[in-house]
Amino acid sequence: VLSRVKDHGLLHTAGLIGGKWTETASDKGTFEVHNPATGAVLATMPRMRADETRAAIAAAHAVLPQWRHKPAKERAAILRKWHDLILQHQHDIATIMTLECGKPTAEALGEIASGAASVEWFAAEAVRVCGDVLEPHNRDRRMLVIKQPVGVVGAITPWNFPMSMITRKVAPALAAGCTVILKPAELTPLTALALAELAERAGLPDGCLNIVIGDAPAIGHELVSSDTVRKLGFTGSTAVGRLLAAGAGQAVKRISLELGGNAPVIVFGDADLELAAKGIVGSALRNAGQTCICANRVFVHDSVYDKLAEAVVEHTRKLKTGDGLEPGVNVGPLITPAALDKVTGHVTDAVAKGGKLLAGGSKPELPAPLSGGNFFAPTVIGDATIDMRCFKEETFGPLIPLFRFSTDEEAVLLANTTEYGLAAYFYTRDLARAWRVAEELEFGMIGLNEVAITSEVAPFGGVKASGLGREQSKYGLSEFLDVKYVCMGLG
């Protein structure tokens, strides 16, 4: 199936260390990449471990002086070239992405556009790094602040956005003058390797972007404990994030974490119900429900509950589930059989606790070879309650549970009753309520009458167990810069 990719040079089955595509000794073993729509093996990759990670760190360190001292304008030009090449190859990248992560082609193209937009944004930001001249407290000295790249950076990314979680770390790092060791998810390394190929073609010097894949705990440990790596950027589960944060604490290393979410949507009695229903279904079922900002828990005011539920079911039923490569498919497979088990578990639990199955609820009947895929029908559960697993845990699948509420205070309390704090959405036309609720929700990102909130110009990140730091936007670059104060005595 990978033969559908026109530019075969984009297909790599090796890591990238110091500009060399690197296999490992065969006794270290390999791992397979699967197509989640069929279960078929797509590629066999080398299982890299600590040795290769150390070599990649050394390569990133060796080229750091050359890269950081390049004028920002030259670094920006390389990033812009990378951006152009990504867009020129978007159809090939989309094919690779859909094959390894399952998302429909239209969503893959959307992710590529947004990932490329990050690269373009940080190319433009690279030339705008500037320090400060402070008013000194005494005339016999001058006080300056300069901004410098933090140095060698580690990046660990998940499978659900095989490209855009990479570009939002790698582009600002390179823009700031840092060099990078990237560990993409073992489930979706092919997109990452295609991106690295294009970065090389754009003229990125050898060693500025290195890729290691394989034994995640061994690679992660090396990245977090190395004295050379000065910052770690991670997107993934809260469990692994906590582990890395503990290691970074020990090593006193900067870290940004973008972890789980359990996004609420509140639909108030005065909401535009059609807009809300469309937004809820679009958000909850994006990437088959596998994004950290997907609508997870929908709280609906009693007065509009029946109407909203009906509209949500109607929009859900219109969606086509199947192979993401097929035109017209809206919902692809889940990433693994384990992910399928989790969604099935949440649905069974909800129904056992009195939830009403309004749509979906099981694995759809699909012909071979899709019968071997990890599909679950888009599902709506009515009369959901807070004792259900889908209230407490992130489902990460195509499930929309509808809960009832009667007062604003109750809605905000329910929404905030989670360890997570990434994205929250609400629908109202009342201006005072809009301000109040936006301020009261304990989340890093708020969508008011809107679910498409992600953009390269806006800060992405969470509070509470959803993480630390912000990616994208003008805030995203400062994560890769150290502030240095210079006091000049005039004698």
Residue 236 makes contact with ligand ADP by CB under 6 A: yes
Sequence-distant (6+) residues with CB within 8 A of 249 are: none
The Cα angle at residue 290 between residues 154 and 157, in degrees rounded to 5 = 5
Residue 217 makes contact with ligand ADP by CB under 6 A: yes
The rounded distance, in Å, linking the Cα atoms of 347 and 358 is: 11
Residue 175 makes contact with ligand ADP by CB under 6 A: no
Residue 233 makes contact with ligand ADP by CB under 6 A: no
Residue 105 makes contact with ligand ADP by CB under 6 A: no
Q: By CB neighbour count within 10 A (0-12 exposed, 13-18 middle, 19+ buried), where does 475 fall?
A: middle
- To the nearest 10 degrees (0 to 180), the angle between helices 164-176 and 105-126 is 10
**Structure tokens, 370:** 């899709």
- Evaluate whether 374 touches 368 at the Cβ level (below 8 Å): no
Sequence-distant (6+) residues with CB within 8 A of 409 are: none
Residues 411-430 that bind ligand ADP (CB under 6 A): none
Which CB, 45 or 240, lies closer to ligand ADP? 240
Which CB, 305 or 396, lies closer to ligand ADP? 396
> Which residue's Cβ has the minimum distance to ligand ADP?
220
Residue 341 makes contact with ligand ADP by CB under 6 A: no
The rounded distance, in Å, linking the Cα atoms of 81 and 92 is: 17
Residues 129-158 that bind ligand ADP (CB under 6 A): 156-158
Amino acid at 13: T
Sequence-distant (6+) residues with CB within 8 A of 35 are: 1, 41, 42, 99, 100, 102, 373
Residue 220 makes contact with ligand ADP by CB under 6 A: yes
Residue 216 makes contact with ligand ADP by CB under 6 A: yes
User: Strands 254-258, 467-468: parallel, antiparallel or unpaired by DSSP?
Assistant: antiparallel
- Evaluate whether 33 touches 46 at the Cβ level (below 8 Å): no
CA 4 vs. chain centroid, Å, equals 26
Residue 289 makes contact with ligand ADP by CB under 6 A: no
The yes-or-no answer on residue 258 being catalytic is yes
Which CB, 236 or 373, lies closer to ligand ADP? 236
How many residues bind ligand ADP, per CB under 6 A?
14
Sequence-distant (6+) residues with CB within 8 A of 138 are: none
Q: Of the listed 258, 394, 471, 479, which one is catalytic?
A: 258
Which CB, 255 or 300, lies closer to ligand ADP? 255
Residue 237 makes contact with ligand ADP by CB under 6 A: yes
Residue 97 makes contact with ligand ADP by CB under 6 A: no
Q: Of 274, 277, 379, 395, give the one whose Cα is nearest residue 321.
A: 379
- Evaluate whether 101 touches 335 at the Cβ level (below 8 Å): yes
Residue 336 makes contact with ligand ADP by CB under 6 A: no
Which CB, 240 or 334, lies closer to ligand ADP? 240
Q: Which residues partner with 89 through β-bridges?
A: none
Q: How far is the CB of 237 from ligand ADP (least distance, A)?
A: 3
Residue 240 makes contact with ligand ADP by CB under 6 A: yes
Q: How far is the CB of 259 from ligand ADP (least distance, A)?
A: 8
Residue 249 makes contact with ligand ADP by CB under 6 A: no
Which CB, 130 or 239, lies closer to ligand ADP? 239
Listed ranges 98-106, 117-125, 140-148, 215-223: which one lies at the site for ligand ADP (CB under 6 A): 215-223
Residue 383 makes contact with ligand ADP by CB under 6 A: no
Listed ranges 56-64, 236-244, 265-273, 365-373: which one lies at the site for ligand ADP (CB under 6 A): 236-244
- Evaluate whether 120 touches 339 at the Cβ level (below 8 Å): no
The rounded distance, in Å, linking the Cα atoms of 273 and 27 is: 59
**DSSP notation for 371-439:** GGS-----EEEES--TTSHHHHS---SSEEEEEEE-SHHHHHHHHH-SSEESEEEEE---HHHHHHHHH
Q: How far is the CB of 1 from ligand ADP (least distance, A)?
A: 23
Residue 446 makes contact with ligand ADP by CB under 6 A: no
Residue 213 makes contact with ligand ADP by CB under 6 A: no
Residues marked as catalytic = 258
Binding site for ligand ADP (CB under 6 A): 156-159, 183, 185-186, 216-217, 220, 236-237, 240, 243
